[in-house]
Amino acid sequence: MLAYLIRRLLFAVVVIVGVATISFALLHLIPGSPVDAILGNEATPDSRAALEHQLGLDRPVAVQYANWWGQVLRGELGDSVMTKQPVAQLIRERLPVTIPLAIFSMLIALAIAVPAGILSAIRRNTWIDGVVSVVAFAGLSIPGFWLGTLLILGFSVHWQIFPPGGYVSIFDDPIDGLRHLVLPAIALGMTFAAVLTRMIRSSMLEVLGADYVRTARAKGQTEHRVLFGHALRNALIPTVTIIGVQVGALLSGALIIEQIFSLPGIGRLTVQAVLDRDIPLLQGCIITIALIFVVVNLLTDLLYVYLDPRISYA
């Protein structure tokens, strides 16, 4: 197990370096500059040159890249071009918004997908299976931003049950904080729920036809024991893989959802960094999301051992 962890951590370092290198190169290839966002189109050539020198943008890209890694190795991510605040501080302030949103979205998706997927599998080719399949395909087809807008119109404007946007920390006021997260979490988690429902259904159908399930039934075990003690646990192994992969999708989907619901999370911070051409801030956001993705996938692989004792990383 220790050797496996060391290999995975080394691989994670390679992934982070690769993501940082590719994103840094792409950010310098796209049109526009932080100078344009700061000075506007009316800036004189002299003022532009002075600001580029102050920000270090007149140096070769390779030198800028080396300087950025020097800051990272010292435990820094540089300063934001627009706000002059440390990038690491800005990200630390926004993560407590995005992480609860992603966790809440995942819990909503699991609460919908697990019972729906199981019910669809054990009622295969019935009207229940048909309804679940139609709803799942609808969830895959509906864009999150459109669903979020409908949720605001229905539950905030018409019925006034939940607030239409804004943020209250769940650590300061858990009840009000959850009320502000319900609508964005539903909008973010519905596509995730649709993917999980289809995966759980197909995995359950495969497992229910296995020999050990027929043996368990032949021994007289109850249907509840067969479904949840034997079938579901084995069906969750491929589902856990999808959950690990979809964490990246949740974080990327938060870019739009946080904009719609005015949540001050890392997704909205990333969008603002793109609009401001704030390369140090955008680079820090990309690295943070990549790091979360790598850590979640590592935890997913370790969870396999608990779900299936036959799997060993020794």
Q: Identify whether the C-beta of residue 313 lies closer than 8 Å to the C-beta of residue 1.
A: yes
pLDDT digits (tens, 9 = 90+) for 126-180: 998 899 989 888 888 888 888 889 999 999 888 888 998 888 888 888 888 889 8
Phi and psi based region of residue 78 (left: phi greater than 0; alpha: psi -120 to 50; beta: remaining): left
Per-chain mean pLDDT for the chain: 83
Lowest mean pLDDT among 102-106, 131-135, 210-214: 210-214
Give dist(CA 138, CA 132) in Å, integer. 10
Q: Give the mean model confidence (pLDDT) for residues 74-97.
A: 85
Q: Identify whether the C-beta of residue 262 lies closer than 8 Å to the C-beta of residue 253.
A: no
Which domains, from first to last, does the chain contain?
Answer: 90-307 (1.10.3720.10)
Give dist(CA 118, CA 240) in Å, integer. 15
Give dist(CA 250, CA 143) in Å, integer. 13
